[in-house]
């Protein structure tokens, strides 16, 4: 993707894709509803900061998640932003049809390893969720540009069930790929992952799925978010979900909180010499829009507090 | 070191040594003075939680750091705790003589890579600091059990000078070892380190110093503390400083804040299957003593907030 004039992105090439999930994962975890108009401006600001992929909402029952009721509108507006991949979450075929109707072409579907979490989250067993993936992928006949990715929730442990079986995780990723998913990633929905486990599971994922091995969705519930990113990088992962100001968690995983903070993730990656194309200062400025849409909301992030280091240089810039 | 009856330490063997610096690094960064009697009980509680090494204070001018004025007393009391290595920081020969007078036998000396930080911190150039190390090591003639370790401050960057030269870092570690230090570690005094740099520098340190390559003292100023721990583990580091509740920083490095939190570090290591001998619950209980000695003090740490994961097992315990 090429950077366009007017965007502050630092480079048109990236080494790591940072996929922003704040407008979906973040906002669905907050009781209040961010006004649609602020959502538009927030998504635009995040894109202007250089983010190339943003998960802007989910197509679910507005009764269950009223915060997501305007996702169709948000998708339609976000699609007018140049060079931005607009992702939407859909739990099932109904959601996928609604998504397509609003113009969304990149869908992400959750399949939870934990039976208890799966039922609480999307009212289905893991097998039923995989069957939905197959049905959604079948829509490609009429929508050849449709892209479907799967994120395996509770892949590192579950707040309800505790530890999960790693063979079962890998088995479900294979089934999701067989169902037609273009990529299958692993999500630490609950903040249970540790770096040894992250390295092990992503190494296995890559061995099983090859170039259909997807990204890492990590939480910072116990402070291990960026430590797990380092382990995932070692295992070859090059796509990471994160959320501005660490907004988010999972309303159906009790005790889960805190996505990896986008600002801190970008700082980590750029410090390590990995290009993200994202401008940290522009990202920090975009936090104001979160507060405009959700006055008084608690924002997370260490770089926002400490600032960039003296002499900080973005990866790929001249010494 | 063997665990003694009555201690809650989970194992007598450790894979990683967690060296607690809260009573020194933490307390010297707080304006108020923790009463000596509470210090005694806090150090005892940390040892009872399974910590095998605690830096209990520093022998510096009480005019400069009144928080450390009672270090002699704290050392003497801590030395009565079985199986505990009692560390004290000394900046120079005078401090070392005072330390020895109070019975301290394990001394840590700072040598700062940054000229500006070195002068602000200990009123000497880096070369003068190395000369002090040599003089302190010479005391071994009369004190054969004296152990001297050096921590290289601002080894990853300086809040005053910005980036530091990596060759200069390695050069100073070699000089400190030549001056007689038993081990030479690297300190991210300022929270500037990133995992790529940590891996690179500790790999070089180990290549240069062999078994005299020391541990990692990392800060969490920008949220990268545990990410840097993962990188240091990869480079073979097996000793890590940390501070209960993340107390600490550096009074002479403006903007530096936040040691790696001991509670979170132990959780990280044990989750990864690395035995620390430390009991997280006992550690969490010890936080109460910080608040008793410093009422209202802000405590950090994610595990304290989120709790252990469901089904959490310590490394080395049966499945």
CB atoms A157 and B222 under 8 Å: no
Residue ranges of chain A with pLDDT lower than 70? 1-12, 249-257, 319
Which of A227, A301, A306 lies at the smallest CB-CB distance from B268?
Answer: A227
Distance from CA of A190 to the nearest CA of B (A): 9
| Catalytic residue list of A | 250
Distance from CA of A258 to the nearest CA of B (A): 10
Tell whether B11 is covered by a domain. no
Which of A157, A196, A271 lies at the smallest CB-CB distance from B273?
Answer: A196
Distance from CA of A259 to the nearest CA of B (A): 13
Per-residue pLDDT at B122: 86
Tell whether B6 is covered by a domain. no
Distance from CA of B42 to the nearest CA of A (A): 24
User: Mean pLDDT, chain B, as a whole number?
Assistant: 93
CB atoms B223 and A264 under 8 Å: yes
Which of A222, A229, A261 lies at the smallest CB-CB distance from B264?
Answer: A222
The rounded distance, in Å, linking the Cα atoms of A243 and A258 is 9
Per-residue pLDDT at B2: 33
- What residues of B are in contact with residue A240 (Cβ under 8 Å)? none
The rounded distance, in Å, linking the Cα atoms of B59 and B61 is 7
Of all residues in chain B, the one with the smallest CA distance to A200 is B272
- What residues of A are in contact with residue B309 (Cβ under 8 Å)? 157, 162, 190-192, 222
Tell whether B72 is covered by a domain. yes
Please state the separation of Cα B194 from the chain's center in Å: 19
Tell whether A139 is covered by a domain. yes
CB atoms A227 and B223 under 8 Å: no
Chain A positions with Cβ closer than 8 Å to B:
157-163, 190-192, 194-197, 220-224, 226-227, 229-231, 234, 255, 257, 261, 264, 267-268, 271-273, 301-303, 306-307, 309-311
**Of A48, A98, A123, residue with least CA distance to A278:** A48
Helix, strand and coil content of chain B, in percent to the nearest 5, comes to: 45, 15, 40
- What residues of B are in contact with residue A306 (Cβ under 8 Å)? 191, 221-222, 255, 257
* B295 neighbors B307 (Cβ within 8 angstroms): no
Which of A226, A255, A273 lies at the smallest CB-CB distance from B306?
Answer: A255
The H-assigned helical ranges of chain B are 27-28, 36-48, 71-78, 93-101, 115-122, 126-137, 166-178, 195-209, 225-234, 262-271, 280-293, 303-306
Say yes or no to pLDDT of B251 above 60. no
CB atoms A226 and B226 under 8 Å: yes
Active site residue B250: yes
The rounded distance, in Å, linking the Cα atoms of B248 and B169 is 23
Helix (H) or strand (E) holding B186: strand B183-187
Per-residue pLDDT at B176: 98
Please give the average per-residue pLDDT across B219-237, as a whole number: 96
Of all residues in chain B, the one with the smallest CA distance to A269 is B194
Tell whether A313 is covered by a domain. no
- What residues of A are in contact with residue B190 (Cβ under 8 Å)? 309
Distance from CA of A252 to the nearest CA of B (A): 16
Look up residue A44 and give its two tokens. 């635009």
Which of A161, A302, A311 lies at the smallest CB-CB distance from B221?
Answer: A302
- What residues of B are in contact with residue A221 (Cβ under 8 Å)? 302, 306
Distance from CA of B12 to the nearest CA of A (A): 23
**Of A172, A73, A33, A182, residue with least CA distance to A113:** A172
- What residues of A are in contact with residue B267 (Cβ under 8 Å)? 222-224
Per annotation, catalytic residue among B21, B49, B250, B265: B250
User: Mean pLDDT, chain A, as a whole number?
Assistant: 93
Name the DSSP class of A12.
S
CB atoms A223 and B264 under 8 Å: yes
Look up the CATH number of the domain holding residue A295: 3.20.20.70
Domain carrying residue A156: 17-306
CB atoms B309 and A223 under 8 Å: no
CB atoms A234 and B229 under 8 Å: no
- What residues of B are in contact with residue A276 (Cβ under 8 Å)? none
Say yes or no to pLDDT of B7 above 60. no
Please give the average per-residue pLDDT across B46-59, as a whole number: 98
**Domain count within chain A:** 1
More confident call, B190 vs B293: B293
Tell whether A34 is covered by a domain. yes
Look up residue A197 and give its two tokens. 């486990």
Taking only the tens place, the pLDDT of each residue in B160-216 is 999 999 999 999 999 999 999 999 999 999 899 999 999 999 999 999 999 999 999
Distance from CA of A52 to the nearest CA of B (A): 24
Distance from CA of A120 to the nearest CA of B (A): 18
The rounded distance, in Å, linking the Cα atoms of B227 and A231 is 9
pLDDT-based confidence at residue B255 (cuts at 50, 70, 90) = low
CB atoms A306 and B230 under 8 Å: no
When scoring A192, A222, A307 by the number of chain B Cβ atoms within 10 A, the one with the most, hence best to mutate, is A222
When scoring B219, B223, B257, B300 by the number of chain A Cβ atoms within 10 A, the one with the most, hence best to mutate, is B223
CB atoms B223 and A302 under 8 Å: yes
Number of Cβ pairs < 8 A linking chain A and chain B: 117
Per-residue pLDDT at A122: 86
Tell whether A166 is covered by a domain. yes
The rounded distance, in Å, linking the Cα atoms of A113 and A173 is 10
**Of A182, A179, A174, A232, residue with least CA distance to A207:** A174
Tell whether A315 is covered by a domain. no
Which of A157, A220, A257 lies at the smallest CB-CB distance from B309?
Answer: A157
The rounded distance, in Å, linking the Cα atoms of B75 and B73 is 5
Cα distances (Å, whole numbers) of residue B13 to A127, B234, B271, B272, B316: 44, 20, 16, 16, 10
pLDDT-based confidence at residue B253 (cuts at 50, 70, 90) = low
Per-residue pLDDT at A70: 98
């Amino acid at each position: 993707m090429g950077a366009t004039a007017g965007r502050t992105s630092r480079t048109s090439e990236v080494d790591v894709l940072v996929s922003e999930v704040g407008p979906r994962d973040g906002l669905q975890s907050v009781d209040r509803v961010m006004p649609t108009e602020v959502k538009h401006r927030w998504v635009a600001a995040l894109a202007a900061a250089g983010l190339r992929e943003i998960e802007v909402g989910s197509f679910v029952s507005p009764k269950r998640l009223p915060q997501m009721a305007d996702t169709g509108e948000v998708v339609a507006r976000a699609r007018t932003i140049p060079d931005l991949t607009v992702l939407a979450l859909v739990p099932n075929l109904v959601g996928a049809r609604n998504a397509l109707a609003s113009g969304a072409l990149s869908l992400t579907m959750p399949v939870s390893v934990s039976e208890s979490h799966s039922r609480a989250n999307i009212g289905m067993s893991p097998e039923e969720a995989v069957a939905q993936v197959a049905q959604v992928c079948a829509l490609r006949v009429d929508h050849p540009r449709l892209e479907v990715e799967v994120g395996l929730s509770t892949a590192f442990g579950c707040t309800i069930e505790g530890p999960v079986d790693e063979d079962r995780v890998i088995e479900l990723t294979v089934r999701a790929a067989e169902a037609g998913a273009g990529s299958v990633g692993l999500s630490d929905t609950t903040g249970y992952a540790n770096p040894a486990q992250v390295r092990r599971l992503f190494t296995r994922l890559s061995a099983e799925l090859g170039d259909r091995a997807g990204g890492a969705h990590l939480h910072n519930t116990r402070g291990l978010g960026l430590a797990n990113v380092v382990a995932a990088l070692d295992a070859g992962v090059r796509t990471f979900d994160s959320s501005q100001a660490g907004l988010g968690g999972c309303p159906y995983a009790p005790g889960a909180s805190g996505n990896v903070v986008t600002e801190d993730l970008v700082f980590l990656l750029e410090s390590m010499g990995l290009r993200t194309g994202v401008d940290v200062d522009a990202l920090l400025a975009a936090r104001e829009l979160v507060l405009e849409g959700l006055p008084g909301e608690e924002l997370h992030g260490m770089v926002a507090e400490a600032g960039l280091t003296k002499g900080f240089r973005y990866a790929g810039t001249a010494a």
